[in-house]
């Protein structure tokens, strides 16, 4: 199986809905990797919401940046696993999952944040490399962007080349940007807003508010129930 056999994206309401919840799920797994790594490093859970996490107040380790980089490392592994499946998958369903893993792990978001000097990668590098001189900041931001681009662009190129749909550039851009927009509106604005108002903000496990835990379980159940839609998100043409 190779990229000489392009795939046709099945852009039905159901397939797009399950894909969006897969996007949400991968976002949450990214955050879980951060806080679990922090727990391993510090011996206690830190605090978090839907996109901001902190190590516990008593944490005193030499390289707390390990927890910062853990999230992106997980996401990058998912991107490249998707690329491998898409290029070398033994079946169309595996190649379809490969495409989903590439598009559903926020590659545009990681590149965009690095380009604007934000995101885990740039923040972690700043924490590691910044000294008393502030003049190094621009170079650290540039380094962060280059690293993220070098990691994210090859899977994106592979994904784009695999798509057989007409107007595939428009579709490709939409699948990169629209799920990220919905993620921002629903998680960062709506659900984080509810947390700030005290709605289900009680913490029971893993330093995580109840609302976040319920959201994660909901995403997991929806994606598991709609798994077949992901394996048939892309099919052979003809």
Side-chain-facing half-sphere of 138: CA atoms under 13 Å: 1
pLDDT digits (tens, 9 = 90+) for 199-221: 999 999 999 999 999 999 999 99
**What are the structure tokens assigned to 14, written together?**
């159901």
Distances (CA, A) of 160 to 16, 188, 215: 17, 28, 31
Question: Which of these ranges, 4-8, 70-74, 149-153, 217-221, has the smallest mean pLDDT?
Answer: 4-8
- Give the pLDDT confidence score for residue 136 in this predicted structure: 72
Question: What phi and psi, each to the nearest 5 degrees, are found at residue 182?
Answer: -65, -40
Question: Which pLDDT does position 138 carry in this prediction?
Answer: 86
pLDDT in the model for residue 237: 74
pLDDT at 238: 55
Segment 8-33 shows an average pLDDT of 98
pLDDT of residue 131: 59
SS3 at position 48: strand
Q: Report pLDDT digits (tens) over 137-154.
A: 888 999 999 999 999 999
**pLDDT at position 5:** 85
Copy the structure tokens of residue 90: 């033994």
Q: How far apart are CA 22 and CA 214, in angstroms?
A: 15
Residue 82 and residue 49 in contact, taking contact as beta carbons nearer than 8 Å: no
Q: What is the reported pTM?
A: 0.95
């Amino acid at each position: 199986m190779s990229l000489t056999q392009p795939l046709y994206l099945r852009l039905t309401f159901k397939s797009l809905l399950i894909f969006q919840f897969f996007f949400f799920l991968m976002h949450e797994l990214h955050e879980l990797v951060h806080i679990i790594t922090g727990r391993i490093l510090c011996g206690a859970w830190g605090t978090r919401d839907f996109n901001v996490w902190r190590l516990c107040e008593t944490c005193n380790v030499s390289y707390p940046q390990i927890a910062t980089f853990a999230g992106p490392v997980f996401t990058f592994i998912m991107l490249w696993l998707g690329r491998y499946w898409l290029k070398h998958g033994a079946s169309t369903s595996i190649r379809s999952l490969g495409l989903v893993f590439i598009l559903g792990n926020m590659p545009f978001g990681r590149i965009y944040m690095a380009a604007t000097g934000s995101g885990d990668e740039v923040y972690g590098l700043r924490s590691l490399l910044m000294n008393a001189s502030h003049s190094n900041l621009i170079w650290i931001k540039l380094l962060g962007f280059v690293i993220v681009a070098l990691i994210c662009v090859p899977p994106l190129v592979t994904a784009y080349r695999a798509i057989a749909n007409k107007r595939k550039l428009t579709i490709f851009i939409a699948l990169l940007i629209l799920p990220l927009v919905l993620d921002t509106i629903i998680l960062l604005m709506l659900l984080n807003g509810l947390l700030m108002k005290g709605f289900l903000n009680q913490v029971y496990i893993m330093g995580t508010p109840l609302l976040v835990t319920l959201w994660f379980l909901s995403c997991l159940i929806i994606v598991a129930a709609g798994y077949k839609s992901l394996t048939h998100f892309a099919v052979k043409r003809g």
